[in-house]
Structure 1
Amino acid sequence: MSALLELLNVSKHFKVDSGLLGLKSDFVRAVDGVTLDVRKGETLGLVGESGCGKSTLARCIMGLNGVTSGEILFRGRSLATWEEKRLRRHMQMIFQDPYSSLNPRQKIGSIIREGLDIHEIGTPAERKAKVEELLGLVGLRPEHASRYPHEFSGGQRQRVAVARTLALDPQLIVCDEPVSALDVSVQAQVLTMLKHLQKRFDLTYVFISHDLAVVSHISDRVAVMYLGRIMELSPSETLFATPRHPYTEALLSAVLSPDPTDRAERIALTGDLPSPMNPPTGCPFHPRCPKAFEKCPNARPELKEIEPGVRVACWLY
């Protein structure tokens, strides 16, 4: 399966002024040397604690944040060489909050049609028909086009956001926590819809979430992120059955089991997530790692393939 998207040692640092009159400067290392590939037609899940850099990485992929170093390739070409208007036809994004991502002053039909208008695709009649078709694909009715976002529930608004992303027939959709703001029953409906649309239109997803149950349900492969770096990358079934990195083990141990007799031991991490302004030396996870040893604080492990399809950044391997 060929790579549709490639990230080559991508970093994104934000400058922060501090001290008297802002004369001192420091950098928040939100993304710190990420190397990934996303294969055509797959769903790559991206998980990690809040503040680990997932959303920043998503915005870098979309070209909304320029990278500090490294390179992002889409269809073998650097994002820097793509004209932004052309790139938007191939890459779209679903945001976490379906209300704030929709213009409250625009009707739903206008929101979905906006991309078609900007790219001058089809006649006005064809655009209207396309909007009605898209509404049907996401489980809404044609008459909904004349309503405003506040007239819909959260789940319906997220369906509108999905319809908007599909308007330009993209190849890649970055889903940034697309169901975290929804009720559990609505989450299941939206996830089922996303999987159906993926099969129908041969879509590729980067699916970002902190909910491991959701990620295991929808993802083909999963990347585990910590303090701006990828700790583990593995097929979904393999990762959830036999996690390799101690951080992945700790994350999975926190997932509640539906079986009340399951008494699996919880791995409690000590301390808080370190500041991305002053990350630890060596392995970024070593101050909280229950398996750390003398090498961990002194040298940073690279993401290394330990068996086919499984990559881990840990000195244990």
Structure 2
Amino acid sequence: MALLELTNTHKSFKITSGLLGLQSGELRAVDNINLSVEKGKTLGLVGESGCGKSTLAKCIMGLEKLTAGEIRFEDKTINSWDEKKLRRKIQMIFQDPYSSLNPRHKVGAIIREGLDIHHIGSPKDRILKVNETLKLVGLLPEHAQRYPHEFSGGQRQRIAIARALALNPNLIVCDEPVSALDVSVQAQILTLLKDIQTQFKLTYVFISHDLSVISHIADQVAVMYLGRIMEVGPAQILFEFPRHPYTQALLSAVLAPDPEAQSQQILLNGDLPSPLAPPRGCPFHPRCPYAFEKCAVIKPELKNVDSQIQTACWLD
């Protein structure tokens, strides 16, 4: 059973100009997305910067209201949830551990904040919960008395993970949680997230532009471009047999451990188009090496190309 379901999810922003603030355009950040995440699994959401990944994360969190469509969590629409109850069920780990933690608060207060707001347990119980959570992420109880600036980047992200875990959520949205860390530290944090997921049967939506990171943690992968899903399927199959030209280009840019095994990189023409003026037809066609006349006229919808993979491409 799916813990999270997105149906025809759409989020656009009005662009205003002039002294009167009249609408001059529309930015489609999330355009007709259909996805589901099974309980205890990880959905990896990948794509270039500016493709709408973080906006989609905010919609899942209930921080942005949808323009159209529906998001269901535990078989209830996001909008029908009481906001306070939703915050206990869905937590988020942010990209930058240096700016996501309040520098004026000690670590214990940061982790305990959610427990205080929701009045969970007695003051003594909350302190015990903070200490347990710190141990869970590989830190010590005495670290609760220190400030964030006294820790390294990797340790700060462990604190951010502890804060997310304190309320015992069912779903955690991870918005580029390792992109600001060194490669060696990235591996430690990914291992920690996987261990915690197994222990508590957590469900993740893991956002990243780095496919090598996604390949280590995701069960299902959705490739996003200009607010739309280009390809989605099981991680192992999608990485071994990418069908969409955009997925193929992204994977060709991933460095292989063996230089001799590195395949030829697919170079895309031009830059990512502006979401304020997306191309007609397939949004990827101006940069696609295989585009033909139909691609520039009609927008392909996401469809099954086999029993497990879906793509939005006229080549399939």
TM > 0.5 fold call: yes
With normalisation by structure 1, the TM-score equals: 0.98
> Which digits, 9 at most, give the CA deviation of each residue in 1:78-108, with x for residues without a partner?
0110000001111000000112111111110
Question: Number of matched residues?
Answer: 316
Q: Distance in 2 between matches of 1:39 and 1:97?
A: 27
CA contact (8 A) 2:8 2:33 kept: yes
Contiguous gaps of at least 5 residues in structure 1: none
Q: Distance in 2 between matches of 1:266 and 1:96?
A: 28
SS in 1 for 2:11: strand
Q: Distance in 2 between matches of 1:163 and 1:172?
A: 14
- Aligned-partner residue type, residue 285 of structure 1: F
Per the TM alignment, residue 26 of structure 1 is displaced from its structure 2 partner at its CA by 1.1
* Equivalent position of 2:172 in the other structure: 173
Contiguous gaps of at least 5 residues in structure 2: none
CA contact (8 A) 2:14 2:23 kept: no
Q: Distance in 2 between matches of 1:11 and 1:160?
A: 33
Per the TM alignment, residue 126 of structure 1 is displaced from its structure 2 partner at its CA by 0.7
Per the TM alignment, residue 33 of structure 1 is displaced from its structure 2 partner at its CA by 0.9
Matches within 5 A, 1:8-23: 8-18=7-17, 22-23=21-22
SS in 2 for 1:44: strand
* Equivalent position of 1:76 in the other structure: 75
Give the root-mean-square deviation of aligned CA atoms.
1.1
Q: Distance in 1 between matches of 2:26 and 2:301?
A: 22
Q: Distance in 1 between matches of 2:139 and 2:105?
A: 17
CA contact (8 A) 2:255 2:262 kept: no
* Equivalent position of 2:224 in the other structure: 225
* Equivalent position of 1:286 in the other structure: 285
- Aligned-partner residue type, residue 146 of structure 2: R
* Equivalent position of 1:126 in the other structure: 125
Matches within 5 A, 1:41-56: 41-56=40-55
Q: Distance in 2 between matches of 1:153 and 1:312?
A: 41
* Equivalent position of 1:64 in the other structure: 63
Q: Percent identity?
A: 69
Per the TM alignment, residue 19 of structure 1 is displaced from its structure 2 partner at its CA by 5.2
With normalisation by structure 2, the TM-score equals: 0.98
Per the TM alignment, residue 18 of structure 1 is displaced from its structure 2 partner at its CA by 2.9
SS in 2 for 1:288: coil
* Equivalent position of 1:147 in the other structure: 146
Q: Distance in 1 between matches of 2:84 and 2:295?
A: 45
* Equivalent position of 1:29 in the other structure: 28
Does 2:90 align with 1:91? yes
